[in-house]
Structures are given as C-alpha cells and as structure tokens.
A and B are shown apart, each in its own frame.
Chain A
Amino acid sequence: MEMKLTIRRVPTVVSNYQEDSPAAAGCGKNCLGDCCLPVSELPLYAFKANPAKLPSQEDAAPTKPLINLLLTEWENRMARGLFRYDVTACETKVIPGNLGFVAQLNEGRHLKKRPTEFRVDRVLQPFDPAKFNFTKVGQEEVLFQFENGATDESFFLESAPIPADRAPNVVAINVSPIEYGHVLLIPRVLDRLPQRIDQDSFLLALQMAAEAASPYFRLGYNSLGAFATINHLHFQAYYLSVPFPVEKAATQKIPLAEDNMKSGVNVSKLINYPVRGLVFEGGNTLNDLANVVSSACVWLQDNNVPYNVLVSDCGRRIFLFPQCYAEKQALGEVSQELLDTQVNPAVWEISGHIVLKRRNDYEEASETSAWKLLAEVSLSEERFEEVKAYIFSAAGLVQSDEEEVSEGEDTTYVPVPVAPLPITEGCLVLQ
C-alpha cells in the first residue's frame, strides 16, 4: 500500500486564466487549446541553426535581438496591464557577504488563497488535462513562438501561422513575475507533455540561452517534487543584471577518464555552497552538453529524485541540484521558523535569488540566514555521492582513478569583485 507524501502550498498564479473554471471546447477565449490555436497566428522568433562550436568568448557585437525582443514585448504586456503587480516596485538588494545573495521583498506574489495539496513523492506524474496547463493561457500572454530557423541568421516575424506538422514551442509571460522579463518557455505546447526533461526539450532550453547571449538571462527548471506546480513541461527564464551567488561559488573539477573527453563535457562539484550540486560545462557542441545533462535528469526522474536545473552563462554552465526539501516538509522535518518564511526553495532560490514575503525577513536577510535556509534543501554528503555515482553512470561519465586533487590545483574560486561588475553587454540595442 503506497503512502502519498504531500505538502500544502499556495500555487503561484502564472497565467490570468489559471483560476478560471476549465473552459468547454470552442471556448472563444483565444487560448492556446486546439479550439483556438491551430487557426491563429503568433509572432515567431527563429533562432540561428545550431552553431557547430559554442562561442568561446562573448560576442563582441552588442546587439542581442532575442533579449531586445523579449524585453520589448514584456514591456508591452506591462503597459497592457497583464501582470498581477509591478515587479519593479518590489524592493531588491544584494546582501553583503561573500556570495552576494539577492533578496527581494514581494508581498503580492502569493495572495492568501487556499493552499492546494501537492504530491511530492512522485517526480513523474501523467499529464492531467483537467488541471490548469498552458494550453489554457490567453494568446495575449504569449510573446512569440520560438523555433529553429535552420539558417545562419536569426529572424523575427510579427505574425506567422502555427506549423501544421508539429507543435510550436512558445514563450509566454509569467503574470506573477519574480523579476522583469520573467517568461516561461513551453516546448511543443500542444503536445501537452508532462513536466519531465528529455533531450530535445533540454536542448531547446540551451538554444534559448545561447541565442539570448547574455549572462544575465538565465533559464531554470523545477521538477515535480522540487516545487514545480504545473505539470506541463516548461522552463522559466528572466533577466537580472547581477551575478547569482551560485555562479560565484567555488567548484572542484571531477577528473574524468580519458575516453570521456570525446564529448568535451566537464563536470565539477560545488564546494562552499549550502546546496550540493554538480556543474556541467563545455561540450564540443551544445548537443553534447544537452545530452549529458538530460541523461542525468532522466535518471533522477526515473528514480524519483526531485531536482532543479539552472542554465547560466549563455548555456555554457549548467547547475544540477538534486533536492529533498519537499519530502522533509511533508514528513514534518523542517523547522517552523523556516516554514514561516514561506520560501519554497526552487531553482531561483537555490541559485541565490530569494523572494521573501514578509518585510521582517527582508530587512533581516543575511548571508547566514540564506545559507541556513538553503542548507535544508541539500542532499546529505553521503546521499549526494550516491546519487552522483548513479548520474555518472547514466550519463556515460566515468570518474577517473586519480586521487582527489587537493584544494590547491583544480579549485576555481571566482574572486568577489570589489567594484560592481561593469555591464559590458548590459544594455540592449535595437537595430
């Protein structure tokens, strides 16, 4: 007899149509369902065909068409009043300390609605069309389709028909944004895929990061059981021109056996960071990197280990965090003090961007308090090593027999810049 582990939480409203009762067929609401979408047109951003090699250095060219378009359209939706609140009116600060956690006070994100039960012990659950999913969002909440243009140059069309032969990938706004530009990337929206990573979808996420070409535009993924609330395949993304703590944390490279060098992917372990995780970098092509990471994710999903993924540095660095906070919460093992902050440690929080509900928590936020919260999320060292071994096996990685190198050699510690980082690419030029 299987016992279900659940927690109760107030789900975030990501679409203005989320609270409506499920619409009958032919809703006339201009949604993304089969009733409306196939006959509609949406703007289309076609990204450059897969580059054979990842750009080694950031492009000298200052133009970033995808980001420009995304911010323009986002501002347009703001002007049209589609968001539940103005996120730029939410105080935000970088907490003094080594890692520079970013705290935000957002009292409007979760109104006092009735909390819903979420099952936290099954990472893979079948798609349930009765529950809210992204086919129910309004077309005005969709910014554009995001497809591979299969040419050397990316291009944008104000209006393009939905392809007849395959489901479109769309980028939609999150009406309860964490930051300016907060969007959802929904691969093959009409295929109604449940929240689970596969190689294609993960590659799409990397392609978006690479196309955006900005280290301040990151993508994130939460599995079920790791605080995803909508069981319809999606990634999140937003723009914040501040480094994330996890991006500044020290890492230690894991030496790999010779023949692993084929794919060119490196793996490191995070050290001196409250949540244990792996960092995947390199790869001869974006495909190689996507392959390795998605294999790891698939193992975690199939073996019921909840996890979060952060895609950073234009798709060059991927952070993978297996976690267990929700399970602890369901078993009553989390202190009331932490529960009272009502922070659900999903990918952004784990990466160091923490949204706080209560002013007290915000005023008193410190590196220590952030660390304390995130430490609860991490797998124990023992369990992490166990999971890591399985992940390696699933991803075809072989740890070499070399002795663990002492901290001197391979440990890369990115020194905390004393002065604020000059924004070399920061602002955004429309051609």
Chain B
Amino acid sequence: MATASSGEAGQGEGQDHDRRLLASSLTARYSDWVLEALDELPGSFLLTDPSLAGHPIVYASRGLAALTGYARREVLGRNARVFQGAATDRAAVAGVREAVRAQRAHQVAILNYRRDGSPHWVLLHLAPVFHAHDGRVLHFLAVQVPIAPAARRGTQCHAAAAALATGCREEARVEDDFPCASHAGKVFVDMDKRGLEAEEPRVASDCEKEKAMNTANSILSALNRYSKLTGLVVCGKRCDSFGIPALSSSLNLSLGRIKQSFVLTDTHLPDTPIIYASEAFLSLTGEIPAWLFIKPKKGYVQRKDGSSFRDLLHVSPIRDASGKVAFHIWVHLDVGAKHDFNGLTPEVWQLGAVGAVRVAVRGLSASGSLLRLSK
C-alpha cells in the first residue's frame, strides 16, 4: 500500500530500506528518547509522515492493538486508510483527506474496522505537527478514541477525562475550531449490512472529544520535549497575528549586557519581525533590513553604507517559562573582523549570547516580568 515500491528481486533489501526510512522519520527530528516517551502515553494513536511516498504511518502507539487488533509493526509503513472499510462513510473519509491536504486539524466520528473485520466507531482526531520556524508539516498525529454507544456512557467516561491533563499550552494546542462532522442524514449505508454498519452514526460525547484533545496535546508535548536540540521546535498551530509585545525593562537591561551581535524576533508574528537588536548588531549592519530575517542565511550581508561582510549566523528558538517558544535569536558574526573569542572557536563563542538570553528569558518569565503587557 504505502511503502516505497520495491521490486521482486530486491525485496528483502527494499524492506530494510523502508524500515530505516520509517524509523528515521522520527529519529532524524527527535532524540531517541521520544519513542520511550510516546510509548508511555495511553490511548491509540499514530504518527504519519506526509513527506514519504504514500503518507505512511511511522509510529503506532501501544494502545493500538487493544483498540484495533492490529499489532504495531503491522501498520508501520501503511497508509492510515487501512482502518477504513466498506461501510465507512465516504464523506467522512473525504473530510479527512481534505484536512490533510489543507494541513489543518480535524475531528470526525468515523466507522473503522478492526483487523478481524469487525466494525467499530471511533472519534478520529487529526492534527498537523508544524515546524515552528518554517511552517512546514513534519507529521500528522491521528488519535482514535472509541465512541461508546449512548447507553453505556456516564461515569466511566467522566472519570477518565478527569484523570487527564487539562492545561494546554498554546504551542501544543491543536486548533479547537475544527469542523466536527456529524454526518446524520448524510451517511450512505448499504441497508443489507447488519449491526453497527446499519445503525445511526454515533456522535462523540464531550468527554470523548476532550480525551482525544488531551492525547493530542500530550503527543505534541512529548515531541517538543525531545526535539533534537538544533533548533527544531514543533507546534500545533501556524502563526497567528498578535500585537507586538513590549519587552520589560528588566529584560532590556539583561539583554543590554550581552556583547554579541544579535537580534530577537517574535515567532508568532507574520514575517517574524525584530523586537530587539543589540548594540553590537546595529553597529555591525548599520540598519535592520527586513529581508535579512525571513530566512536563515549564511553568506554575505550588505551594510547600509553598501559595504558587505561575511556573516556567520546562528539561529535558535528561545522559550519562556511556560515552555513555549517566545522568540528566536539570530546571532551574527562578521567573520572577517578581529574579535577576542576568549580561547573559544567563533561558532562556540556565539552560543554565549544564546545561553545568556535563555536564562534571562526563563527567569524573568517565571517571575512574571518578561513583557510589559501581562499575560
């Protein structure tokens, strides 16, 4: 179905190659500990990679077998439509496909099929995992929560929901205004089928929806925690526009002591505008050209006076005390100029600015004095 095609002859090799490809989908972006962390999460969920041929499943949770009857290794490499079957509502499937194409979150009650062919209703909660910096979709997460028949609901569900986390961080939140497709009246059911397939489509209860949301948020938290620390940050939402925050005087004071040439940009604003530029930076470039900050660039930078310099650039996300990315720091270095690096290499010396900003932002943020506008 979904794995990259392999001819008859090279089948063994091809399979190994595919397996490595699937495994590297996660481990290339997150540290190896992420698998353990995901393994600890309850519930049935998948991670899929839209950049691989066939949009295959690259991770399946421990809870998958209990819900669907499929062992985890059986679904790796296959497309998630493996769970659908004859009586699955085509409109629901189309909704999912559309959400994937548009890279937005989606929640729908859908009739799935277990490995043994038996149908069951699940609430499918789909959400894209964005690279926070350049906005591309790295993975989709898909959570499956069984929908109990109306009679069986009540205390059990409530207790389960109460046991789950309720706090959500903006970065890890999945968009909550997704269309919930309740397809009453639009289901094309073959009246010859019996049982579940013939009954009215189920509607997920609030606590089932909440359970799905919480699982999705836990997954995003885990991915963020274990993202390879080379600047990768993931979030569940593309940048929205907010007002430009004013930095507190304490933060300005702390930043003012950092000697490197750097700027801070605000992640959440379109075109990631600069909200702070160090003295050293201003004397380095003479001005703040907007184009400089759309993409990371290593290369020649032109000064206001027309001269240029070769720039060694380091970019990193900076989180505040809530764990969310608040800014990005861009540290520049004129490679040609003379500097005292205190015995360090230039690349390492630049990191001093990053560390300094991290501790300032985290500490001030924990005390509630990061921004002039209160949260």
Contacts and interface: CB of A to CB of B under 8 A. Distances in A.
12 contacts: A71-B359, A79-B230, A86-B229, A107-B221, A108-B33, A181-B359, A240-B359, A240-B363, A241-B363, A426-B250, A426-B253, A429-B257
Return the 8 tightest CB-CB contacts between A and B, nearest first.
Answer: A241-B363, A71-B355, A427-B254, A420-B369, A72-B352, A75-B355, A75-B351, A359-B165
A180 B366 contact: no
Interface stretch (A87-95, A338-346, A366-374): A87-95
B278 to A, nearest CB: 11
Nearest to B360: A427
A108 B319 CA distance: 17
Given A108-B37, A157-B343, A88 B355 contact: no
A420 B364 contact: yes
B72 interface: no
B229 A83 contact: yes
Interface string A407-431: 0000000000001111100111111
A274 to B, nearest CB: 21
B367 A181 contact: no
A426 B250 CA distance: 9
B114 interface: no
Interface in B347-363: 348-349, 351-360, 362-363
Contacts of A74: 355
B349 A89 contact: no
A84 interface: yes
Given A62-B257, A76-B351, A423 B225 contact: no
A88 B363 contact: no
B33 A72 contact: no
A156 interface: yes
Interface residues of A, number: 55
A68 interface: yes
Given A94-B367, A420-B369, A427-B254, A68 B33 contact: no
A385 interface: no
A75 B316 CA distance: 10
B109 interface: no
Given A423-B253, A430-B342, A431-B340, A91 B362 contact: no
Nearest to B318: A88
Contact of B362 (A78, A79, A92): A92
Most chain-A CB neighbours within 10 Å: which of B354, B364, B366?
B366
Interface in A148-171: 156-158
Interface string A335-377: 0000000000000000000000001100100000000000000
B233 to A, nearest CB: 8
B364 A78 contact: no
Interface string B114-127: 00000000000000
B215 to A, nearest CB: 13
A90 B165 CA distance: 15
A112 B352 contact: no
B164 to A, nearest CB: 9
Given A79-B229, A420-B369, A423-B250, 13 more contacts: A72-B351, A72-B352, A83-B229, A86-B229, A88-B358, A94-B368, A108-B222, A111-B36, A157-B343, A180-B362, A241-B360, A242-B367, A428-B356
